[in-house]
Amino acid sequence: MSNGFRVLPRVPGDPALVELFRDLPVANISDTLHRMSGALGLTPRHRGGYLLGTALTVKVRPGDNLMIHRALQLGQPGDVLVIDGGGVVERALIGEIMKRVAQARGFAGYIIDGAIRDAQAFADDDFPCYSRGITHRGPYKDGPGEINVPVSIGGAVVHPGDIVAGDRDGVVFIPPANAREIATATRKKGSDEVATMASIANGTYDDAWVQEVLASKGLR
């Protein structure tokens, strides 16, 4: 393989682990992950719907999508294309055609630390796509790039095979080795929030913790 071009073996996901996170609020998953595992600065571009799948990672030269096209050939249904474009938004890395290719091949969605174009086509569709920006300017197709390597997405390190979840709040990445523990803790947090909402509704909500924290900071 030539310098700057590298394709490593795909890391398969475990569908049973992925399904543990079906429709769980991303904010609750993020809290369970100590608020340290989500991508920052990416915006959902699709109309609606939950993103859930396995990370197929791509690192590209900013503004170049050659290796994204190759990843579209190599991926499997349920994969999420997680693309490290260096956060550069001067050139779009994908548009409507590549959206349609991914849909036709059963991909779960796109996460792009870079830009897209044909924004209205995404806004009119439920196929999940998150990006840092939008521009009409098209990409180069020369490379280099790498597939199935660790990438950086909005400050988060994503490994091939990580579980990816996304909703209107953003996206998070879950290590498969900790998936069961994280899913259990996330569901418990959801149950706790249901109880909190009920206490607000019936007038028994207790926020005495605020004074306790302030007192620990020296404010009496």
Q: 107-141 pLDDT, tens per residue?
A: 999 999 999 999 999 999 999 999 999 999 999 99
At 47-61, the pLDDT tens digits run 999 999 999 999 999
- Tell me if 148 sits within 8 A of 158, measured CB to CB: no
Q: Which of 126, 120, 121, 108 is nearest to 49 (CA)?
A: 126
Residue with tokens 């924004």: 119
Question: What per-residue confidence (pLDDT) applies to 86?
Answer: 97
Tell me how far apart the alpha carbons of residues 77 and 55 are, in angstroms, rounded to a whole number.
11
Q: List phi, psi (to 5°) of 8.
A: -95, 160
> Which residues does the chain have with pLDDT short of 50?
none
pLDDT at 1: 60
pTM (two decimals)? 0.94
pLDDT at position 122 is: 98
